[in-house]
């Protein structure tokens, strides 16, 4: 299998980087009837660690000067904040702050040893949050099964008006003219049926239907939308914010980018991996991208299940 770097794929996907935060955006397409849809996941790094190593100075100065613990905060090699945070956490376990410690310049070796011994708990200190869009409801049904180390906030079809509906085209449909045409017909039909049902339910509500009645205005909207959403296919877009620690991200990347993984969720996790590898190559630099026969990518590492 052909290999390539995360940076190469990031540029191929037209990724953007601003002030240490990265994103891979995708344009919105429209069907002949004007129904919006997307053809790939968009990912935006919302948050990453910020580490205050200098804050340890007073603590380290409280030990016998012969230990030279105070020199720890003067390490000349800067690390990505996530890697620095995890390294401080790991070295705290042994009070490894003196001259014989592993310096930042050897951080990759330090983390390779942790990964090889599967001391993955140290990696749980660094968290990364992404805003993700251009993903379908069927994808999120799989993603949110991962709970350990993860938090999710997802768009609600019950609270959100159907006028904001967008859809997601699967990879298989993009490469086949017949499947693509059927997809466009299907989302136009779904959008039209949703609008028609919503209008009918609203009329019933205004006529006093007890199943659709409520006192609060927000509850009135929910009564209509919770019924109308039953028409929506799994192809409906389901944006979310997802936060996880580095250890959890590594686990899901390995699980969901494997060659046997579902192709749509693999496409998402490859993009998230590429972003993580760029912002913290120390924590995620042991992975390689491998191009599969179908043109998609898998992510592999010699340090699995850390």
| Active-site residue, selected from the candidate residues 256, 266, 271, 300 | 256
The length of the chain is: 306
Within 8 A by CB and 6+ apart from 220, the residues are 205, 212, 213, 214
Q: What is the distance of C-alpha 286 from the center of its chain?
A: 19
β pairing state of 16-18 and 42-47? unpaired
Q: What is the DSSP string of 100-157?
A: TSPPGGGHHHHHHHHHHTT-GGGGGG-EEEEEEES-BHHHHHHHTT--TTEEEEE--T
Residue 166: active-site member = no
Cα–Cα dist 286/277, whole Å: 9
Residue 40 exposure: Cα atoms within 13 Å on the Cβ side = 16
Residues belonging to the active site: 256
């Amino acid at each position: 299998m052909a290999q390539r770097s995360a940076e190469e794929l990031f540029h191929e996907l037209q990724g953007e980087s601003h002030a240490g935060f990265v994103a891979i955006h995708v344009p919105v397409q429209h069907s002949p009837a004007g129904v919006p849809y997307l053809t790939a996941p968009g990912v935006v790094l919302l948050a990453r660690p910020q580490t205050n190593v200098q804050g340890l100075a007073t603590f380290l100065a409280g030990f016998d000067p012969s230990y030279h613990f105070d020199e720890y905060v003067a390490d000349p090699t800067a690390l990505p904040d996530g890697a620095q945070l995890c390294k401080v956490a790991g070295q705290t376990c042994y009070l490894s702050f003196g001259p014989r410690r592993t310096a930042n310049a050897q951080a990759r070796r330090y983390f390779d040893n942790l990964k090889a011994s599967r001391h993955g708990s140290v990696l749980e200190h660094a968290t990364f949050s992404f805003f993700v869009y251009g993903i379908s409801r069927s994808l999120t049904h799989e993603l949110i099964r991962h709970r350990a180390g993860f938090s999710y906030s997802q768009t609600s079809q019950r609270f959100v008006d159907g006028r904001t509906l967008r859809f997601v085209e699967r990879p298989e449909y993009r490469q086949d003219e017949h499947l693509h045409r059927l997809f466009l017909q299907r989302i136009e039909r779904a959008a039209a049926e949703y609008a028609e049902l919503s209008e009918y339910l609203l009329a019933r509500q205004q006529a006093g239907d007890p199943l659709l009645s409520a006192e609060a205005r927000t509850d009135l909207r929910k009564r209509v939308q919770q019924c109308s959403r039953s028409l929506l296919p799994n192809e409906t877009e389901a944006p979310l914010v997802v936060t996880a620690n580095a250890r959890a991200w590594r686990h899901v990347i390995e699980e969901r980018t494997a060659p046997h993984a579902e192709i749509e969720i693999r496409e998402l996790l490859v993009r998230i991996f590429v972003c993580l590898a760029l912002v913290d190559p120390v924590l995620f630099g042991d992975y390689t991208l491998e191009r599969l026969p179908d043109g998609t990518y898998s992510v592999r590492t010699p340090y699995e299940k850390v």
